């Protein structure tokens, strides 16, 4: 069913002033309704109803497939993006993995812990272009021993949107592992060029915690070793009498039965996104980001994130002078603006459902800040 961007915006029920989707996206009205309905089924436990909840696994894999363009049988549900990254990093079978030390810790910890435990892969730290992971910098630092590259689709510190198509072109047949959590559902990225794509559903897709996925290319399935592979990842059709080998599919990256209610919640949120279309959502977010730029410029607040539409998603990083950061943070707080306050900057995250009242509140905060400064 196709919906409009205005209909999609009505699934946002959070109070005005919320600009922190890069940290957590308040659960959508659709995902909330799905959760309540599923818990009602679990509470009643009518004959046959519990068994039918297992169908949510195929539903959520179909929903992920529609947005990533990976076949649904190459998708496996994960409770977090971090667990998906651990599966990918521990599955690497040798060589060097190239990544930035400035990546979100889910990536760096996965690479280092895999190196420490398995002793078959070595993290190599990329020298970035002002924390931006670019194809040019990767090309300069590739070596014959580089077997994989790990990168965030959207950098959580700078809001920079990585050119994963360009990265694919420069790395050739090396494995490309993408943490998509800061852009999945709102950036129309060419996910199909990656070998591994992971994401969680608690941020921009607004599906709440405990939701996520790992999607793998056929080449990744062939080359990665499923180190953490439980009984649900074996091709034994439920037999308990032997321990089988991991499946020759993405299902091998499964440890136990997933939470079907979390799967239903995630699927419902993704179905909403597919109904309106990622390009429409991306356009609406882009318009909101431009409005934040205009307000920041009006009140002479320096913007550290890229203004180039090809290099950004939904996050705007403001970086006032160090002595003015406290005043800006206090003004945002006093005007009811929820944002991520860091040691040197403020990160605002705009979504397709950000309201006029929220922009008015942001203007009020900037006015107070300018007066105090």
- Positive or negative, the CA dihedral 276, 281, 283, 288 is positive
8 A C-beta contact, residue 148 and residue 300:
no
Give the three-class secondary structure for 78.
coil
How confident is the prediction along the chain (373 residues), in pLDDT tens digits per residue? 778 999 999 999 999 999 999 999 999 999 999 999 999 999 999 999 998 999 999 999 999 999 999 999 999 999 999 999 999 999 999 999 999 999 999 999 999 999 999 999 999 999 999 999 999 999 999 999 999 999 999 999 999 999 999 999 999 999 999 999 999 999 999 999 999 999 999 999 999 999 999 999 999 999 999 999 999 999 877 678 889 999 999 999 999 999 999 999 999 999 999 999 999 999 999 999 999 999 999 999 999 999 999 999 999 999 999 999 999 999 999 999 999 999 999 999 999 999 999 999 999 999 999 998 7
Cα–Cα distance for residue pair 106/72, rounded to 1 Å: 25
Domains of the chain from N-terminus onward: 5-26+278-372 (3.90.1150.10), 30-276 (3.40.640.10)
Model pTM score: 0.96
Cα–Cα distance for residue pair 221/16, rounded to 1 Å: 44
8 A C-beta contact, residue 161 and residue 135:
no
DSSP β-bridge partners for residue 317? 347
The first and second tokens of residue 30, run together, are 């659709």
Cα–Cα distance for residue pair 231/245, rounded to 1 Å: 9
Cα–Cα distance for residue pair 28/31, rounded to 1 Å: 5
Letter string b/e over residues 141-166, b meaning 16 or more CB atoms within 10 A of that residue's CB: ebeeebbbbbbbbbbbbbbbbbbbee
């Amino acid at each position: 069913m196709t919906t409009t961007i205005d209909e999609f915006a009505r699934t946002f029920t959070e109070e005005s002033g919320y600009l922190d989707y890069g940290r957590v996206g308040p659960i959508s009205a659709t995902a909330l309704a799905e959760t309540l309905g599923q818990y009602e089924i679990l509470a009643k436990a009518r004959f046959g109803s519990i068994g039918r909840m297992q169908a949510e696994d195929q539903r959520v894999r179909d929903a992920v497939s529609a947005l990533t363009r990976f076949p649904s049988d190459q998708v496996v549900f994960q409770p977090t993006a971090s667990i998906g990254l651990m599966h990918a990093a521990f599955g690497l079978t040798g060589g060097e993995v190239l990544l930035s030390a400035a990546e979100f810790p889910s990536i760096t910890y996965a690479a280092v812990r895999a190196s420490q435990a398995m002793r078959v892969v070595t993290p190599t730290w990329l020298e970035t272009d002002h924390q931006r992971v670019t194809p040019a910098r990767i090309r300069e630092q590739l070596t014959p021993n580089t077997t994989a590259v790990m990168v965030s689709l959207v950098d959580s510190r700078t809001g920079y949107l990585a050119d994963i198509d360009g990265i694919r072109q420069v790395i050739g047949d090396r494995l490309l592992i993408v943490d998509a959590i800061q852009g999945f559902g709102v950036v129309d990225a060419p996910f199909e060029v990656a070998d591994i794509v992971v994401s969680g559903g608690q941020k921009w897709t607004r599906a709440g915690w405990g939701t996520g996925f790992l999607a793998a290319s056929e080449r990744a399935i062939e080359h990665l070793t499923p180190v953490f592979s439980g009984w649900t990842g074996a091709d034994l059709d439920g037999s308990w009498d032997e321990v089988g080998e991991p499946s020759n599919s993405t299902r091998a990256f499964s440890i136990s039965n997933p939470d079907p209610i979390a799967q239903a919640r995630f699927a419902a949120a993704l179905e909403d996104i597919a109904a309106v279309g990622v390009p429409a959502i991306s356009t609406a977010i882009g318009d909101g980001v431009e409005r934040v730029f205009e307000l920041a410029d009006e009140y002479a607040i320096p913007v550290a994130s890229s203004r180039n539409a090809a290099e950004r998603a939904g996050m705007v990083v403001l970086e006032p002078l160090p002595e003015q950061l406290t005043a800006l943070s206090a003004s945002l707080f006093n005007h009811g603006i929820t944002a991520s306050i860091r040691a040197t900057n403020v990160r605002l995250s705009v979504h397709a459902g950000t309201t006029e009242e929220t922009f008015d509140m942001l203007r009020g905060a900037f006015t107070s800040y300018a007066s105090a400064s």
